[in-house]
Chains A and B, each alone.
Chain A
Amino acid sequence: MEASARGDRVYHAITTAFAVSIPLLLVLIAISIGIAAWPALSQAGFSFITSSEWDVARGKFGAAPAIYGTIVSSAIALLIATPLAIGVSIFLSEIAPPWLRQPVGFLVDLLAAIPSVVYGLWGIFVLIPLLRDPIAPFLSDTLRLGSTPLFSGPNYGYSMLAAGLILAIMILPFISAVTREVLLAVPRSQREAALALGATRWEMIRDAVLPYARSGIIGGIILGLGRALGETMAVTMLIGNRPEISASLFAPGYTMASLIANEFTEATSDLHLSALMAVGAVLFVITLIVNALARWLVWQVTRKSAR
């Protein structure tokens, strides 16, 4: 009995240590990035996130263009991916004939398995030429959107739009996976009641299924946002990497992640390194908040159905 009790204690101690290592790792990441970012943050102060002057030679570090680019490229991605992901999820959970469910679901899930760098490669050689030739002229000339600030200026392909498009493809499986999960958590009775009241299938989905799953779907969208905000390689390869704020989606931009990826190994001064660490710290805090919010929203729906 003595030995077995000791075995249990050892087992408990080991699994507890592994479990506790996760919070410790997060704390360690936060502290070490925080310390490394401090010199740049304390020197630039609040202007670090408001100034758009990123001049390494003169020691000026304003991350506004990168923050702007991160938000805009992610917003484009969400605008494109959200309706598609919700459509696919409704298709897979409510409408598709059984023989289509598995393969379509599998193909959508596999989008998440493709490495970011492969998306980038494909983007450079397929998406960028497509944007440069049929798509951009179509948007600016045929649709006459060229006079609006959103689609003005020359289009080299490498642009905010390119980054947003590739991000849309990349985050679609994440939004769709969560949406499918919460749609499946909607009780059967909810659907049956709507149909019994004479609703069409679409009305049943719109009035009985989607409202029930709403906070979970929003959680999935926010989870996709979290992915888009931190996505690095594909965006770095397609966005053009220019630290300017331009209203045009055809203009090249920068994101926090691509800024770090581009300049980190070339940073020579301590202040430059610290500034990049500070960009990382901002990204860390934003994604932390976004993820926590998303998890909480999804948890709300799945907990409801677990009861």
Chain B
Amino acid sequence: MAGDKEVGEMRGRQRRHATSVVMLGLTYVAAAIATLPLLFIILYLLRKGAAFIRPAFFTQMPMPIGEVGGGMANAIVGTLILVSIASAIGLPIGIGAGLYLAEHRGSRLANTVRFLSDVLNGLPSIVIGIFAWEFLVRPFGNFSALAGGLALGAMMIPLVTRTTEEMVRLVPTSLREAALALGYTRWRTSVTIILRTAMPGIVTGALVAVARIAGETAPLLFTALGNQFWSTSLTEPIAALPLQIFTYAISPYDTAHAQAWAGALVLIAMVLVISLAARYATRSRFGTAGD
């Protein structure tokens, strides 16, 4: 009878191992399925968009919808302007708030701000958009680049705040203590020693934030609005790459669709280059930290 029991145990062990192999195999399948969409999207973008990327795309204005040719020069410049405004707001506030959070760890205000910063980060961009409209478009009576930039800037703040905090926390306490012992004041310690040490990480965070807002469309629908002209005025509607892609994508013309693909390829290239730069910056930081 002992033999039966042994056989039973062996079968049980075989079954358990088989289950293990199957389940672990399924995680390979999940990994494959999860990475496929990105490859599909990028390959498709390259196939559809690459043919339309010519110098003219970057230098010319959009043609009237339905006509062949033209470029997105105004939208590319518009996006750069919007991102600059957003960075001018999001970076100082985000870095300042991040410094505060790192230096007042555990205080009630810091905990509240940290939590609300995460909440702000999770707020849908369209909600930020209608807020910017209510606050900056309605009172002044017109759509503007400034309102669009401010909406994007508000979205940058929580991202920059949290990465700054994380990076400042990684700075060894001994460094701070050494600076204070040498007679540095607190603020000089923070600004020159701590900020400089944490700078590569903060730059990474800033790049990630820029990459994220550069492709935002929803908050711009009611703020920057977009247009078909050359405009760099901050108090008037301004074109933006994502808005232009949206307009072309939902139009019924094949020529417009072609422009949408080309625009999407340029936008993706911008975002990916920024993301890769951010990743590279992080890697070199960890590389030197290990020395």
Contacts and interface: CB of A to CB of B under 8 A. Distances in A.
Interface in A171-224: 172, 176, 200-203, 205-206, 223
Interface of B: 16-17, 19-21, 23-24, 26-31, 33-35, 37-41, 44-45, 48, 92-97, 99-101, 103, 109-110, 112-113, 115-128, 130-131, 133-135, 154, 157-158, 161, 185-188, 190-191, 211-212, 214-218, 221-222, 225, 242, 245-246, 249-250, 257, 260-261, 264, 267-268, 271-272, 275, 279
A223 B122 contact: yes
A111 B190 CA distance: 36
A260 interface: yes
Chain A's interface: helix, strand, loop or mixed, by majority? Answer: helix
Interface string A1-39: 000100110111011111111110110110011001000
A122 B44 contact: yes
Given A21-B157, A257-B124, A287-B122, 4 more contacts: A19-B110, A106-B279, A118-B245, A118-B264
Given A15-B96, A26-B119, A231 B124 contact: yes
Interface stretch (A43-51, A61-69, A84-92): A84-92
A87 B222 contact: no
Nearest to A15: B100
Contact of A18 (B97, B154, B261): B97
Contacts of B110: 19
Contacts of B17: 200
Nearest to A201: B20
Interface string A263-302: 0110000000000110010011001101110110000000
Contact of B218 (A121, A226, A233): A233
A19 B101 contact: yes
Contacts, number: 262
B130 A33 contact: yes
Counting contact residues on chain A (CB < 8 A from B), the size range is 35 or more
B13 to A, nearest CB: 9
A117 B215 contact: yes
Interface in A80-105: 83-88, 90-92, 94-96, 100, 104
Contacts of A122: 41, 44-45, 264
